[in-house]
Structure 1
Amino acid sequence: MNGRRISARERWAGRIILTLLVLFTLLPFVGMLSAALQPAGSSPTGLTVPNPMHWENFVTAFRTAQLPQLMTSSALLVVMVVPAALVVATLAAYGLAVLRVPGGVIAMGLLLIGLTIPFEGLIWPLYYMMRTYGLLNTRPAIALPLIALYMPFGVIWMRAHFAGVPNELNEAAALDGAGSWAMLRRVHLPLARPALSTLAVLFSLWTWNQFIIALVMMDDPLKRTVAGALGAFQGQYGQDIVLMSAAALLVMLPTIVVFVVFQKQFVAALLQGSVKG
């Protein structure tokens, strides 16, 4: 492989740019943390370090926003949505990329169109559909639309992985007498672990933070998602920037932790197949 060596100046320039991007990304969170530690009811101005720091604001926000109930509700929806969405997306992508099912090109075109349609544009059709089926105010009314809405991205993501698997592996498995299902279990699924784990994390985060569908389909605020905590909290403390900042940080904390824990899987999935021997 012919390539130019990166000079020390280019390495330092890259590090400086990355550092600036990290600082730019973290700045809003630092501002929210600064505001959350101010005295409750005050009006924070700029980035300041309060003395003393009012950590009790997080306790107040945690209780008032009823986060334990909302986190439990979000966790139940994640359990309902993510496994089903992974199975359907994986099977559909396997059929399109490996089995080459008839009409695959048309299906891919429809999936690409689906990527361009925002969730908000489908809310009312989904609402009337769930009402017709008698599912309103139940968790399936939230879970089923989410599974369907995740399919365009999920199928295209997994198809890209399956299409990158060398065809020689499929031929070798076929020579050993493996059928379509055996080939999926023994060859493709073990190789798809980085892609599947990344997709599972993305689906989990999207479900955890889903707001608009949960708001429309469910009347009981405590059976919605954790993102609904801010809506319920704003009704009582809408003018209290301090407590609103504390509640927002608490809502974001689980997603930040999940991303930090699974960042290696993200990198592995994005780099998988980028270098082939």
Structure 2
Amino acid sequence: MNINSKTSIYGIIGHPIGHSLSPLIHNYAFENLDFNSVYVSFDVNEEDLKDAIIGIKALGIKGLNVTVPHKESVIKYLDRISDEAKLIGAVNTIKNNSGSLEGYNTDVTGFMESLKEHNVDVVGKNAVILGAGGAAKAVAVGLALLGAKSIYVCNRSIDKAKELSIHMENNFNIKSLGISYNDLNMLDEIDILINATSVGMHPNVDVSPIGEDVVAKAKFVYDIIYNPEKTLFLSYAEKYRIKYINGLDMLINQAIDSFKIWTGANFDKKIILNFLKKKDFVK
């Protein structure tokens, strides 16, 4: 990669950020398409978020991805957000359009596409989402758009869980209820169980958001975490021979959409997957 004065800068902001595979994905895509661009990680604390967003314009950064914990709080610093980002209430992609910062959400399409790729039928199913943050919002909207029957939103803050469930019922033809982690013990079975929290993410790989007794009730388990490849949460699913997937496909799918928003171009998912396999990030 030949970086010079004409190199376009893209990146990702979050805290923590060291686990992210996004720099590998986008830099390889830039290299493969012969773009004079580079993608870097910015570890941004919550109290520094406003200054970081102002810096996008000052430094001429072309685009950013946004990850935890900034997907919701970043919205107030942007000039405009897309319709799907408004509906979800979270942004994971920012485009600097000649000094105007535009917010998008590609998590929802990335999540939906990953379910389709793994032949997971959502129609008429009951789902439980762990978490109520920006990623959980995208997951909830994706499930609703794919025809889920109901969604339980489970969160440490019951108020946030109820807020998301009310949002879902107000905007979609779906039943939704905000519950606590203790309430999970009252459910007899779960069609779809999704971890949309960061619990179990590298380097804290020895924890799970819930115990294996709850996971055992599920028919399908999804963890949006992709590093490690198999979280403790997913290990519970494997123990009980429950079909499961991690967040790698969602990550790459949303990256494809972000890349197109920024550049107007597509990159080949198969090429990226083969690259990650060679780098030993995909088994």
Kindly name which structure, 1 or 2, has the bigger radius of gyration based on alpha carbons: 1
- Which has the larger strand fraction? 2
Q: Identify the TM-score tier after normalising by the shorter chain.
A: under 0.3
Q: What TM-score, normalized by structure 2, do the two folds share?
A: 0.25
TM-score, length of structure 1 as denominator length: 0.26
Q: Please state which structure has a larger fraction of its residues in helix.
A: 1
**Structure with more contact order per residue of length (Cα contacts < 8 Å, sep ≥ 6):** 1
